[in-house]
Amino acid sequence: MGKNRNIQGRKGCRFSEKLRGISLDQILVVPIDAAKYHPKALICNYFGDILEDSFFFSVNSVGLDELDNKIRQCAKACNAQHILIGIEATGHYHEDIVRELEKRGYQVTIINAYTTSEERASSLNWTKTDDVDLAAIAVAIRHNKGTESKLPSGIYDKLLTATRARRSEVNKHSALQIEIRHLMDVIWPGFQAITEVRNGKTETKPIFSDFWGKAPLFLMRHYPEPRHILNLGPEGLSLMSREHRLKMRSGTIEKLLYAAKVAFNKSSDDLEIELMLLSMKLDELNRASQNISILEQKIEELLVQTPGVLLLSLPEVGLVTAAEFTAEAGPIEQYTNPRQIIKKAGTNPLVSQTGGGEPTYGPISKQGNPWFRTVIYSIGFNLANGRTNPYFRIFAERLKANGKKGRQIWIATGNKFIRVAFALLRDKKLFNPPLWNGLPLTKNVVSKIKTKENKAAAQKILDSLLNRSDHLKVS
């Protein structure tokens, strides 16, 4: 018969090993419905017999003491041999409860909100109350439907917080750029680009090669109206460029003056609110840029303390990308195969097969971590479209030749990255596929680290992971 097998795979084997040989009425089941201020719990045995009616408790030391005491009293009364605690993942509200219970020696299973919803539906009950949710969570615990994911701790917890904060700041930064462009469309549309008609064709030429460079930001801050530019004239603009090191070329100055000359004549009084908002949004943009820079420094400092530095050996994978994947996935030791990581991200395809026919693969499940899914999508896009990593680019081109569309290709490439990353972190190796045109693809890891201190820390952990003392020395 070979090794033990279970219909739930390794997860089912581990669950059955815990409970085998124990009388089911000596197994305590504790479902918890998390909330910001008033979480609720009940205590029953494996058969569903209620030992402690549902009760609210506070998310503080007093509330956890109350929950702990009730669990211990019920465990003593029924001579419990094993305690199964499950809590629905509700935003971040469940995290403190899980950590505090684990400190007290309990093992806590995290239940996906989709699972709770499906359990309610399976009992033909579309009512949603705290007690109905508790019953659904209890059934999910008994049927071993909790996730195997653990809350991050230590360096991984800090890295997760920092990378998510950075992503939020980047989203804020992008939104502010859109708002500023909109305001400039009202104040002076020609500041962004000029249009010319040549040979019957309209040409649009940007005034600045980088609209968010030093020169345009300075001008929007101090000289946002066409009349300001006309008052300065070519000599004044050249002098200002030299004094403030804006590096505006003569061609840029000419285009700027032309745009100011043909602009509509709008009074400052009419633009009072837009000019005020522009100043405010530029301040916010500057703060967001500073926040991103500070967070990226901290992310670098944290990443070089983890095996995630190995991912920097892949071309097209930068420090933030490696850090985001490392933070969202967590320690690789908690996985036995890459499919578990793919499922955690929710990028696993939905498979349909019946009657002995061939399986068909539908859209991705989207039932995992939305933050993680965004990271994998971004990684897949960069690797599929990048020019320096043919290992992934050729894979993406093959999918395109087979009729796959853009988003399908990017998700599939992201999932391939997960498999590669899992192998690198599990085996403690650098990315080193077969050579292309006789050239190795492995990148120098420490060359992607900015500060000297972090370069040294990255080198140290690389030497430890690779068990070598002469690899990729810091220059």
3-state secondary structure of 28: strand
pLDDT tens per residue, the chain (475 residues)? Answer: 445 677 677 777 878 888 888 888 899 999 999 999 999 999 999 999 999 999 999 999 999 999 999 999 999 999 999 999 999 988 889 999 999 999 999 999 998 887 888 888 776 565 667 788 899 999 999 988 887 667 888 999 999 999 999 999 999 999 999 999 999 999 999 999 988 777 778 888 899 999 999 999 999 999 999 999 999 999 999 999 999 999 999 999 999 999 999 999 899 999 999 999 999 999 999 999 999 999 999 999 999 999 999 999 999 999 999 999 999 999 999 998 999 999 899 898 876 655 665 666 667 877 778 899 999 999 999 999 998 999 999 999 999 999 999 999 999 999 999 999 999 999 999 999 876 667 788 999 999 999 999 999 999 999 999 985 334 333 2
Which residue, chain included where needed, has tokens 């494996």? 46
Which pair of structure tokens corresponds to residue 338?
Answer: 């890459």
Residue 379 placed within a domain: yes
| Domain containing residue 65: CATH number | 3.30.420.40
On whether both 28 and 107 belong to a single domain, the answer is yes
CA-based nearest residue to 257, from 241, 245, 276, 281: 241
C-alpha 371/C-alpha 149 separation (Å) is 15
Q: Are residues 321 and 462 in the same domain?
A: yes
One domain for residues 435 and 314: yes
Task: Answer whether 59's CB lies under 8 Å from 97's CB.
Answer: yes
The number of distinct structural domains making up the chain is: 3
> Does any domain span residue 290?
no
Element (H, E) at 44: strand 40-45
The identity of residue 220, as a single letter, is M
Residue 172: inside a domain, yes or no? no
Indicate if 239 and 340 belong to the same structural domain. no
- Domain presence at residue 286: no
The verdict on 18 and 91 lying in the same domain is: yes
By the 10 Å C-beta count (0-12 exposed, 13-18 middle, 19+ buried), 48 is classed as exposed
Of 99, 134, 151, which closes a domain?
151
Q: Is residue 242 part of a domain?
A: yes
- If DSSP codes are grouped into helix, strand and coil, which group holds residue 110? strand
Give, as one character, the DSSP assignment of residue 436: B
Alpha-carbon span 409 to 402, nearest angstrom: 10
In a domain, 312, yes or no: yes
Q: Are residues 329 and 454 in the same domain?
A: yes
Q: Find out whether 278 and 179 touch, Cβ atoms under 8 Å.
A: no
Residue 232 CB contacts under 8 Å (≥ 6 apart), including other chains: 223, 240
Helix (H, G, I), strand (E, B) or coil at 50: strand
pTM to 2 decimal places: 0.85
Contact 33, 132 (CB under 8 A): no
Task: Please tell me whether residues 111 and 197 are part of one structural domain.
Answer: no
Q: What is the DSSP letter of 208?
A: S
Write the single-letter amino acid at 28: L
Both 240 and 317 in one domain: the answer is no
User: Does 31 share its domain with 98?
Assistant: yes
* Residue 17 included in any domain: yes
**434-464 as b/e, with b when 16 or more CB fall inside 10 Å?**
eeeeeeebebebbebbeeeebbebbbebbee
Q: Tell whether 183 is covered by a domain.
A: no
145 and 254 assigned to the same domain: no
Domain extent at residue 26: 9-151
DSSP tag of 348: P
Q: At 467, phi and psi to the nearest 5?
A: 55, 40
Q: What is the dihedral of CA 316, 320, 321, 325, to 10 degrees?
A: 150
Residue where one domain finishes, among candidates 265, 293, 324:
265
- Amino acid in the structure at residue 217: L
Is 448 found in the same domain as 334? yes
Domain stops at, among 209, 239, 265: 265
Specify the DSSP element, H or E, that contains 376: helix 370-385
Task: Examine the domain organization and report whether 448 and 353 are in the same domain.
Answer: yes
